[in-house]
Structure 1
Amino acid sequence: MNEKLLQYLWNFKIFNNFDFKDIEGNLLEILNFGQWNFNSGADFLEGKIKFNDLILAGNIELHVKSSDWIFHQHSGNQDFDNLILHVVYEHDLDIDEFSAKNIPTLELKNYIDKNIIEKYSKLLNEISFIPCEEIFDVEKVPFNFTDETLLKKLDEKSEKISLQLSSTQNNYEAVLFQNLAYAFGLKVNAEIFQQFAMEIDFNLINKIKQNDLQLEALFFGIFGWLKNPEDEKMQIWKREYEFLKAKYQLSEFSFKPKFLRLRPPNFPTIRLSQLANLYFSQPNLFSKIISAKSKADLFLIFKNVRASDYWNNHFNFGKISPINNAKIITENFINLIIINAVLPLKYHYHKNNSEEIIENILNFYSEIPAEKNNIISSWQNLKVPMDSSRESQAYLYHYKNFCVQKKCLNCSIGLQLLKN
């Protein structure tokens, strides 16, 4: 038993029975278990009990043992002045001030199912895919779990977008560029690509985006790849970058994207060239994304994006590849861009102006296939349906934020599994 589990059981009222008696055998009726308090002070606020024919309203403090009141140095703390009940798992020490103030102590040891404690202990020590894998039952997944979890993820991303807007003078186009760069970087280079996008004044992108050569040269030059040209094309890019650098007084940057363990089509060279081509080929990118009504509309924006011709037979600078083909972004990659960069921004942009945006965004996710990775496969092995990214995105978020961190007591699935 630990205090977190005890608070959880109290909050959700998970007991064998409610015929409570205090440690002295007096009847104790809990009229209101109180509001769970995550700040300083008592664990539960605004509780209400009936004790010795009196109805008392105030706060309730929980401890594993009675003596924890002393060890936690609560005595004399004004945050606990309005205490009406001390709840413990095990009573091991009489507290004089409680006797003096007629504050009852409730020992819960005999009111709690021992199986719950054993289940929780096992969850904490489990090293399988998810802590509850052995007792997981897809039938216990709460109704509407997928949509509520996905919306929680979108709200978190919306908060990050708000911070990005604050740092760009509310420039949605600049924020879109930052988030697209993050998506084009994939998992390995996402943070580096986003940092690169944040360092560029987006006004410069707007000024040169009609010149695909300059746009590509800008990206490659900022990454420091043009210092020692190895072929004629690199010399042209270097010349253009030096021109831009002098004209717009660009600072020196030092970004070092990773190539190791990436498939050649995902090399940062290819992805940056494709990102440059996107902005060259779609001059009204932001407005098209915001006005898109379906996944098909969004797909049309990205479907013809490709790296420049130099990359037809290159994956890195100065090294000709025997493979010669156009590096067009794939449908799977477009889906990742839409999921990770486009839909969160559309959600943020419309959520305060459109009552229908939630269902519209969820429908977008329903039109996109579920991702294919080890985490999704493991959920599917547990019989969790993955009909679209509406489900996969929710379960990926839940795995990262609850399962990996073993926040079983904050998990709506865990609540159902522990109760049954």
Structure 2
Amino acid sequence: MNEKLLQYLWNFKIFTHFNFRDTDGNAIEILDFGKWNTDSGPDFLMAKIKIKNIILAGNIELHVKSSDWIFHQHSKDPGYQNIILHVVFQNDIDIRELKDQNIPTLELNDHIDKNVFQKYEDLLKENQFIPCEKIFSINKIPVNFHEENLLKKLEEKSLEIEKDLEHHKNNYEAVMFHYLAYSFGLKVNASIFKQIAETLDFNIINKIRQNKTQLEALLFGISGWLENPSDSQMQIWKREFDFLKAKYNIPEIIIRPKFLRLRPPNFPTIRLSQFADLYFQHQNLFSKIISAQNTNSLFEIFKEIQASDYWTDHFNFGKISSIHHPKVLTKDFIELIILNAILPIKYTYHKYKNENINDEILKFYIEIQSEKNSVITEWKKLGTKIKTSLESQSLIYHFKNNCEAKNCLNCGIGFKILKES
């Protein structure tokens, strides 16, 4: 038993019976268990109890042992002056000051099924994909589980985007440029690509976006790849980059993307060229994305995007490849961009303007198929049906925020497992 588990059981009222009596034998009726307080101060606020035909309103403090009241030094804390009930798992000593103030103590030892402890300890000890793997079943997934997880994830991402908007004077186009760059970088270069994008004044991008060669030159130059040109095309990019640096007073900054552990189609050279093509082909990119009503409209934006002709027979500078083909965006890559950048931006843009945005944004996730990765593979092994990105995004988020951290007390699945005890 620990205090967090005790608070959890109190909050969700997981008891074998509710015939509560204080340590003096007086019957206690809990009229309101209170609001769980996750900040400093008493554990449950605005509670109500009835004892000796008197109704008391105030706060409730929980401890594993009654002596914890002393160890936690609540006596000297003015925040604990409005306590109406001291709830403990084990009453190991009487607290004199509580007695003197007629504050009852409720011992829960005989009100909790001991199987709850065992299940909780088992969840924390198990070293598996998810703590409840041995007892997991799909019927333990609550109703609206995926929708709630995904909306939590979107809201967290939205708060991050709003911070960036505040820093960039509410310029949605600039912030979208940064997040699209992040997505084009994939896992290895995501933060590096975003750093490159944030280094550039988006006003410069807007001024040169009708010239794809200049867009590429700017991105390649900031990446430090044009210092020693080895062919004629590189010389063209270097000349354009030197011109842009002088014209727009671009500082001498080099941010080098990584090639290590990447397959050639994902080399940063290819991805930055494709990223440049996206802004070259769509002069009103932001409005197209924000106004898109379904995933088909979004796919239309990306389906013709490809790296420039130089990259048809290159993966890196100055090295001709034996593989000759246009470097286009695959369907899987486009879906990742939509999931990781576009939908969070759309949600953030519309959430204060459209009261139906939750339902509308969820439809986009339903229209996109599930991702394929190791986490999703493990969920499928447990019998979970995962067909859409609504389900896969939910389960990835849930795994990272609850299962990996063994945060079973904040998990809807964990709640069902413990309540079944």
TM-score band (shorter)? over 0.9
Alignment of 1:287-302 (within 5 A): 287-302=287-302
For residues 274-305 of structure 1, give each alpha carbon's deviation from its aligned partner in whole angstroms, at most 9, with x where no partner exists.
00011111111111111112111111110011
Cα separation, 1, equivalents of 2:342 and 2:121? 41
Instruction: Specify the alignment match of 1:72 in structure 2.
Output: 72
Cα separation, 2, equivalents of 1:204 and 1:218? 10
Instruction: Specify the alignment match of 2:231 in structure 1.
Output: 231
Alignment of 1:141-220 (within 5 A): 141-220=141-220
Instruction: Specify the alignment match of 2:4 in structure 1.
Output: 4
Q: What is the identity, as a one-letter code, of the residue corresponding to 1:373?
A: N
Cα drift, residue 26 of structure 1 = 2.0
For residues 35-55 of structure 1, give each alpha carbon's deviation from its aligned partner in whole angstroms, at most 9, with x where no partner exists.
101111110011111122221
Cα separation, 2, equivalents of 1:296 and 1:409? 40
Cα separation, 1, equivalents of 2:175 and 2:224? 24
Cα separation, 1, equivalents of 2:70 and 2:256? 54
Instruction: Specify the alignment match of 2:307 in structure 1.
Output: 307
Cα separation, 1, equivalents of 2:129 and 2:296? 35
Q: What is the identity, as a one-letter code, of the residue corresponding to 1:172?
A: Y
Cα separation, 1, equivalents of 2:256 and 2:221? 12
Alignment of 1:214-363 (within 5 A): 214-363=214-363
Cα drift, residue 318 of structure 1 = 1.7
Moved more, 293-302 or 229-238: 229-238
For residues 83-139 of structure 1, give each alpha carbon's deviation from its aligned partner in whole angstroms, at most 9, with x where no partner exists.
111111111121110111111111111111111111111111221111111111211
Cα separation, 1, equivalents of 2:186 and 2:58? 52
Cα separation, 2, equivalents of 1:148 and 1:35? 21
Instruction: Specify the alignment match of 2:57 in structure 1.
Output: 57
Cα separation, 2, equivalents of 1:267 and 1:104? 68
Cα drift, residue 208 of structure 1 = 0.5
Instruction: Specify the alignment match of 1:118 in structure 2.
Output: 118
For residues 201-247 of structure 1, give each alpha carbon's deviation from its aligned partner in whole angstroms, at most 9, with x where no partner exists.
10000000111111000000011111111222211111111110111
Cα separation, 1, equivalents of 2:405 and 2:205? 40
Cα drift, residue 387 of structure 1 = 1.7
TM-score of the superposed pair, with normalisation by structure 2: 0.98
Q: What is the identity, as a one-letter code, of the residue corresponding to 1:235?
A: Q
Cα drift, residue 199 of structure 1 = 1.3
Q: What is the identity, as a one-letter code, of the residue corresponding to 1:245?
A: K
Q: What is the identity, as a one-letter code, of the residue corresponding to 1:98?
A: L
Instruction: Specify the alignment match of 2:366 in structure 1.
Output: 366
Cα separation, 1, equivalents of 2:38 and 2:350? 32
Cα drift, residue 365 of structure 1 = 1.0
Instruction: Specify the alignment match of 1:388 in structure 2.
Output: 388
Instruction: Specify the alignment match of 1:34 in structure 2.
Output: 34
Q: What is the identity, as a one-letter code, of the residue corresponding to 2:251?
A: S
Q: SS at the partner of 1:406?
A: coil
Cα separation, 1, equivalents of 2:135 and 2:415? 12
Cα separation, 1, equivalents of 2:196 and 2:399? 29
Q: SS at the partner of 2:130?
A: coil
Q: What is the identity, as a one-letter code, of the residue corresponding to 1:173?
A: E
For residues 50-85 of structure 1, give each alpha carbon's deviation from its aligned partner in whole angstroms, at most 9, with x where no partner exists.
122221111100011111111111112100000111
Cα separation, 1, equivalents of 2:165 and 2:77? 42
Q: Cα RMSD (Å) of the superposition?
A: 1.1
Cα separation, 1, equivalents of 2:263 and 2:363? 32
Q: SS at the partner of 2:74?
A: coil
- Ranges in structure 2 where 5+ consecutive residues have no aligned partner: none
Q: What is the identity, as a one-letter code, of the residue corresponding to 2:50?
A: K
Instruction: Specify the alignment match of 2:83 in structure 1.
Output: 83
- Ranges in structure 1 where 5+ consecutive residues have no aligned partner: none
Moved more, 252-261 or 64-73: 252-261
Cα separation, 1, equivalents of 2:75 and 2:97? 8
Instruction: Specify the alignment match of 2:95 in structure 1.
Output: 95
Q: Aligned pairs, how many?
A: 420
Cα drift, residue 25 of structure 1 = 2.1
Cα drift, residue 168 of structure 1 = 1.4
TM-score of the superposed pair, with normalisation by structure 1: 0.98
Q: SS at the partner of 2:215?
A: helix
Q: SS at the partner of 2:364?
A: helix
Cα separation, 1, equivalents of 2:91 and 2:228? 75
Q: Percent identity?
A: 62
Instruction: Specify the alignment match of 1:43 in structure 2.
Output: 43
Q: What is the identity, as a one-letter code, of the residue corresponding to 2:6?
A: L
Cα separation, 1, equivalents of 2:305 and 2:207? 20
Q: What is the identity, as a one-letter code, of the residue corresponding to 1:306?
A: Q
Q: SS at the partner of 2:63?
A: strand
Moved more, 145-154 or 7-16: 145-154
Structure 1 segments of 4+ aligned residues over 6 angstroms from their partners: none
Instruction: Specify the alignment match of 2:22 in structure 1.
Output: 22
Cα separation, 2, equivalents of 1:109 and 1:143? 32
Cα drift, residue 307 of structure 1 = 0.7
